[in-house]
A and B are shown apart, each in its own frame.
Chain A
């Protein structure tokens, strides 16, 4: 049982504020993904949980213990590093068994656990090899097996798939998810790849400029972004934004059409809609088509709506050419509104 609690954690490197006021609870056996662009502080937060960095302020709790003053080895964690850090001078067997040996487990137990995790990661036949004789994907498997062999309360992963090629990444992603679900450990996983985050996570913490902007399930983060940043970061392509002007009584004028929205005393809001949540409709937004990209299952159409870029994902049977004008109606239940000043969602 290991619930992770991060309380008011901040981290400064000299003048640079890498993390500010982080509060996060990761439930026992939950798969939490820290998602953000490079420099957002996600790796720093993971390293603070691991004990490889000390927080400038705040506390870290794992299970019932406060751990921020403990050495990494006393925290009951295991970690998978971005560059794998598979020891070059040890065989695969000794790499996987490294943590077990350090904790002075009897030889028989080490052997049993190494073989079990190697089997789980499909690398039994590599146990006698050195890291220099392995491919990137195999090294990755060794790194994961080394972490799993510890049977840790918490497993931390720092962009573990980022050095693999696309096909291998897809394969490992599915495998990792299955293996971790089976091992019933709490997992924290850092990535900048939103597809990876969506596919793996029980919950995603979207990070931006040293803050957690939103921590919620993948669907929630996708459907109901808490801030304009999340709306513009998640989704490929991300949400479309258009300025909206209040016409009173919760009605808003967006690029020439009137839509129902929140009752707010603000004179203007930002209207937001996902590209796949619009349908051609004569009463919709007038959109001048600039680029049409047929992507197989659908068309990605980049248009100009009232001087703003607007992307739509439309049925591939629709025939549309650059220069034409489309009328696109947003699905009313999928429209989101953001305060242009605070950038927070308004409902």
Chain B
């Protein structure tokens, strides 16, 4: 076969697959969002933006992402550094730390619900210790802070491992001699982390952050399980429009809003963490 054509032939199946199951549905969704009553219009967006829950769910989504992602980044970096320094047992620890990755987000939400609900572990523990007389309903409208905290904890528990895995691989790619050189030339362990690990980890940090931030804007099941209607988020609103209000146009519009935010943040992350040409390993 013609060697010039071969690469294109080889990527044809996956291109077709993506076109049929990604590009085509995406076009349909976009069409749905921008068309109302058979004509091109922004009515769907107006309706979505005009609803009193939209600013609230937008704020909640951004707030949650802002609270969760930095903590996860810090934790993942700490854990990755620790794993990287381990000799024996390294793989075992890594497997255990990545277990939450294998659990669906709804299941994760339910696990944390079992801790925080009125008859949950937290209440029985506090009662057992004599700190409370009767069970407290932590996940109620009276304790918005605790609802937020519970969602944050569940998200951190559930999705830190995805960053960890990427960062462990990235740290493993940094040649050992850079650390030795830094050590000889006077860098303390903390300085080595700041001046060698972090800058050389930029490509992996990009991937991990982009992935994690996008997932954070799509947060849904954990919030549904723990917060219910107390803590509306964008993806939850999409679900409500589509399946409860049966308003497909609005659901499509809000889905595009989420996509837009994700693309925006991705571009910012890629820009901030870019590696200058010639400065790559």
Contacts and interface: CB of A to CB of B under 8 A. Distances in A.
Interface of A: 50-52, 71-73, 77-79, 81, 83, 85, 87-90, 98-99, 102-103, 129-133, 146, 150
A132 B280 CA distance: 7
Contacts of B275: 89
A77 B184 contact: yes
Contacts of B35: none
Nearest to A102: B186
B199 interface: yes
A13 to B, nearest CB: 13
Interface of B: 175, 177-178, 180-188, 191, 195-196, 199-200, 202, 275-281
A103 B185 CA distance: 8
A186 to B, nearest CB: 15
Contact of B200 (A73, A89, A99): A89
Contacts of B277: 132
A78 B181 CA distance: 9
A87 B183 contact: no
Contacts of B178: 85, 87
A71 B182 contact: no
A180 to B, nearest CB: 17
Contact of B279 (A51, A72, A77, A88): A88
Contacts of A77: 184
A128 to B, nearest CB: 10
Contacts of A73: 183-188
B278 A81 contact: no
A150 B185 contact: yes
A81 B186 contact: no
A210 to B, nearest CB: 22
Contacts of A90: 279
B186 A103 contact: yes
B279 A79 contact: no
B279 A78 contact: no
Contacts of A81: 177, 180-181
Contacts of A87: 178, 181-182, 196
Given A81-B180, A130-B276, 10 more contacts: A51-B183, A52-B180, A73-B183, A73-B187, A78-B185, A85-B181, A88-B279, A98-B182, A98-B187, A132-B277
A150 B200 CA distance: 24
Contact of B185 (A98, A131, A132): A98
Contacts of A102: 182, 185-187, 191
